[in-house]
Amino acid sequence: MFIARQHLQAGLVFLLGLTLSLLAIYVAENHAKVKAEADFVQSANEHLSSIERIVSAELNVVKSIVGLYQSSASVDRKIFGPS
């Protein structure tokens, strides 16, 4: 009876250790996944902001050209060339 109780206690300690180990692995993997997702979102947002700035700058150039056409009675190559 005493030996059976020792085996039961050892088995319970083993199962508790195994359960805690598996829980620690799950928490660590979940933390790594959440961090990787957050890093990706931050990087994507930075790239998106950069693209928006570039597109906005190019759009301003196009609007300037449109304004040039609208402000002139006629537009020819000389207007765009060096002075």
Residue 75's pLDDT is 66
> Which amino acid appears at position 18 of this protein?
L
CA of 73: how far to CAs of 57, 59, 79, in Å?
A: 26, 23, 12
pTM: 0.58
How does pLDDT run across 26-73, given as a tens digit for each residue? 999 999 999 999 999 999 999 999 999 999 999 999 998 888 778 877
